Structure 1
Amino acid sequence: MEIRFGDTLLILDAGTGIRALGAELTEVGDPVRATVLLTHFHWDHVQGLPFFHPMHLASSLLHIVGPADRDEYVEQRLARQMEPIFFPVPFHGVRAECRFTAWREGPLDVDGVAVRVFPVRHPSRTVGYRIETPSASICYVPDNELAGGRYEVPSDWRRRFEAFLAGADVLIHDTMYTADEYERHEGWGHSTTQQALDLAAAAGVKRLVGFHHAPERSDDDLDRLRRTLGPPTGSPDDPTPSDFSFSYAAEGDELHFG
């Protein structure tokens, strides 16, 4: 997923889809300047990076941000998947100029774009991002278990999370499971669509985009699931249906602001 604002390019995570983006960027012919915001280091969020063509061009400048205690730890974790037994080109052999930033706490300034970060409920250290531009606020939380599971978060985590999301123009959130599926996968670090709808209502966002689909889910499955959903209520204390738009993410979707 990518966010473009003027000359600024933000890439959210680096799964296998980043390969096609890399081909598109290099076909234009201009040097690639981009910031890659990683939510965590599970394979489905980093495995495309070795195949991202700008990584192998000396003209590229890539700033890679991820949750870690030290900047060098971000580089070390990414380098592991490019060890010789796994990949023919070692990480230190890429030609792009790469800078690494470990998020620990506080906001980030990425080429003039304000980026806020919030720890979420998922196995291993994982974060969500809020990106603020003059024209839109976008929250990206692809892996997050809203109910159940055991995670080291404060008792007021939910309240603080809703405040982090409050009023966003777009919330892109984990909707991996149906309610029945969640009963079998509690603690795996993912949410249901209905849970995400209720979160979006409570946070007062303007648009929710369901994300991180179960791998076996087809487009027809998502269409059927969309028709079965109940209205979001926000909280048990406020059962009034909320007014915001909802859709499931699809490959090639574009949203434009301002």
Structure 2
Amino acid sequence: MTRPTLTFRGVRGSMPVSGNQTHRHGGHTLCIDVVAGDRTVVLIDGGTGITRLDRETAPTGPTEYHVFLTHYHWDHLQGLLFFRPLFDPDNHFTFYGHQWDDMSCREAIEGALRPPWFPISIQDTAADKAYVTLGETTVELGDIKVTAAPLRHPQGVTSYRIDGPNKSIVVATDCERGETAADERLRLLATGADILVHDAQYSPEEYEDHYVGWGHSTWVQAAQAAHEAGVKELILVSHDPARTDDEIDNLVELARGSFPDTRAAFEGLQIEL
């Protein structure tokens, strides 16, 4: 049996970008997928990177898609209505996300993906759909187990631990360090994991000068989280749209001074689970 493989399809924060200075890491907004079987796909977020899955390796034939949303900001939803499998009546989609105020996962998604912000609504797509409002929950999908925990971000954010047969990865994007309870939830979620994928949108100087309270972290904070959880590897993600490939490389080198086994996420990076 083929081992489940996690693939980064989009790694940018805030908005997609293009150009010669961003092509190595990629310009699509966040989307990560795990092909968990011939007919089961697990997705973390539906940023524009989801279109790469569509073009490159999306399964053919009836497929179960499980879409775990970190949160409902535009850059994490904006690829969904461009994802062709959502228009196939033979497919089934289950969307997972946290409750915000009195708004359920379904209400948040349907409220965002509809006219006048897009020509059609998500209800108009042909695939069968279900919605699950998450708390601190574990979902088992064949050889894959997904565990959720809330972190710190405006309007909330959910981090996910993905346990495969041989490796475990925690995805903690769009999160800001500094809230004791949230930091402890991440430590508990990531303890014993092999890899921590952590937000590092800002440099320490940018963060202190302009972006405290915006819901993102720095490479310093990401390295601190990796140390606290005792993971083997740190992968930086949610690259700022203004950040060039060379600048991302520089941040990685700085981070390696604190946590040596650090690298930056890039489109197409694959990890066997």
TM-score band, normalised by the shorter chain? 0.7 to 0.9
* Aligned Cα root-mean-square deviation (Å): 2.2
- Quote the offset at 1:84 in angstroms: 2.5
Classify the secondary structure of the residue corresponding to 1:64: strand
Q: TM-score, normalised by structure 1?
A: 0.85
Q: TM-score, normalised by structure 2?
A: 0.81
Q: Counterparts in 2 of 1:137-156, with a 5 A limit?
A: 137-147=168-178, 155-156=180-181
Partner residue in 1 for 2:253: 227
Q: Counterparts in 2 of 1:25-64, with a 5 A limit?
A: 25=57, 28-64=59-95
Larger deviation, residues 177-186 vs 80-89: 80-89
Please say if 1:12 is aligned against 2:39.
Answer: no
Percent identical among aligned pairs is: 33
If you compute each CA radius of gyration, which structure gives the higher value, 1 or 2?
Answer: 1
Q: What is the CA–CA distance in structure 1 between the aligned matches of 2:155 and 2:41, rounded to whole Å? A: 27
Counterpart pick for 1:193 among 215, 219, 222 = 219
Partner residue in 2 for 1:169: 194
**Number of matched residues?**
240
Check the 8 A contact 1:60/1:96 in 2, yes or no.
yes
Check the 8 A contact 1:119/1:127 in 2, yes or no.
yes
Q: What is the CA–CA distance in structure 2 between the aligned matches of 1:230 and 1:112, rounded to whole Å? A: 32
Classify the secondary structure of the residue corresponding to 2:272: coil
Partner residue in 2 for 1:235: none
1:196 to 1:101, Cα distance in 2 relative to 1, 3 A: same
Partner residue in 1 for 2:241: 215
- Quote the offset at 1:195 in angstroms: 1.2
Check the 8 A contact 1:32/1:59 in 2, yes or no.
yes
Q: What is the CA–CA distance in structure 1 between the aligned matches of 2:206 and 2:248, rounded to whole Å? A: 14
Specify the code of the residue in structure 2 equivalent to 1:172. V
- Quote the offset at 1:25 in angstroms: 4.4
Classify the secondary structure of the residue corresponding to 1:129: strand
Check the 8 A contact 1:165/1:203 in 2, yes or no.
yes
- Quote the offset at 1:112 in angstroms: 5.4
1:121 to 1:201, Cα distance in 2 relative to 1, 3 A: same
Higher relative contact order (CA 8 A, sep 6+): 2
Specify the code of the residue in structure 1 equivalent to 2:261. S
Larger deviation, residues 41-50 vs 75-84: 75-84
Partner residue in 1 for 2:263: 247
Specify the code of the residue in structure 1 equivalent to 2:187. E
Partner residue in 2 for 1:239: none
Check the 8 A contact 1:82/1:88 in 2, yes or no.
no
- Quote the offset at 1:69 in angstroms: 6.9
Specify the code of the residue in structure 1 equivalent to 2:196. L
- Quote the offset at 1:59 in angstroms: 1.2
Gaps of 5+ in 1: 148-152, 233-241
1:220 to 1:101, Cα distance in 2 relative to 1, 3 A: same
Deviation sequence 1:203-253 (CA, Å, 0-9, x none): 110111100000111111111222334632xxxxxxxxx6x6210011111
Specify the code of the residue in structure 1 equivalent to 2:47. G
Classify the secondary structure of the residue corresponding to 1:172: strand
1:82 to 1:118, Cα distance in 2 relative to 1, 3 A: closer
- Quote the offset at 1:71 in angstroms: 11
1:72 to 1:182, Cα distance in 2 relative to 1, 3 A: closer
